[in-house]
Amino acid sequence: MPLSVGVLMDPIGAIKIAKDTTFAMLLEAQRRGHSLHYFEQGDLALRDSAPWARIAPLAVREDPQQWFTLGAAQWRDLRELDVVLMRKDPPVDAQFIYDTMVLEAAQRGGVAVINDPQSLRDCNEKLFSLAFPQCIAPALVARDVGELRRFTAEHGEVVLKPLDGMGGRGIFRVKAGDSNLNSMLETLLGGNGHREGRQLVVAQKYIPEISAGDKRILVIDGEPVPYALARIPQGDDFRGNLAAGGRGVGVPLSDRDRWIVAQVAPELRRRGLLFVGLDVIGDYLTEINVTSPTCVRELDAQFGLSIAGQLFDVIEQSVIGKRIA
């Protein structure tokens, strides 16, 4: 039973198809006979209470030179679609939040929005992991310079990062007593370098096992893909993020990895978070990525998987099952 699948994403003409997870989803949806419908952030609107978008029919192909074709865009009611893949990259700023409100109106009209719009608003990717204290390393979220300094002194070495970053941007590793600590805090806090800043900052105890990789574990409807992508830092950089130059190596999930997934999975299901990426360093959960998790293409290539196929099995079961019911 063919579905109409919409995708809200960053400009498709700028993606790198060899590494783009959204592109893998689109290829799989098209392979299954579903029609594809493309729109970007600027294409969303509300007319009275109705969610609308300027939507273009889309075709995709595994061709590094010409990987997509767009038809003529037209304004349409989003409730004409069966599924919307919300794949806009962070930052989760005010405009992103407003987008989820438009998509929530579509959801109320019967559209399956992946991931759930309210949960995209509620589950900050740096903070959501703190809901599972049994899984995380010591962490502090604060604006107070003194508290952040004390936390650094207590643990000896920490990682500092902003709440709204992605791809390893704006992340610092610092030891207690480092003369650069104040400058790092001023940069992240956005304040005047005195007692308090304007922005909340996350401080996490440094986990030395980052040298073996920051593992991305993909979870589909609460079930883990059996392999993770360990993103291994290169050279003198401590960040494993692929966008920061890390090297991706596929590894089987450990018993600890599976335990972490089991701790988190019920809450993911409850919140309608169908496709999620957990970041794990050593024994610790560090982030829960809900906006536009990646690494599908790399894991598919290394292990002969079809992760997007697993995702669409779940989507079809849900959407088509509701139709039949």
* Catalytic sites, residue numbers: 126, 161, 216, 231, 239, 279, 287, 289
Cα–Cα distance measured from residue 52 to residue 115, given in angstroms and rounded to the nearest whole number: 19
Tokens of 19: 């590494």
Q: Which residue from 188, 185, 187, 180 is spatially nearest to 147, judged by alpha carbons?
A: 185
State the amino acid at position 136 in one-letter form.
I
Q: How far is CA 157 from the centre of its chain?
A: 27
Contacts (Cβ under 8 Å, ≥6 apart) of 301: none
Cα–Cα distance measured from residue 192 to residue 186, given in angstroms and rounded to the nearest whole number: 7
**b (16+ CB within 10 A) / e for 169-195:** ebbbbbeeeeeebeebbebbbeeeeee
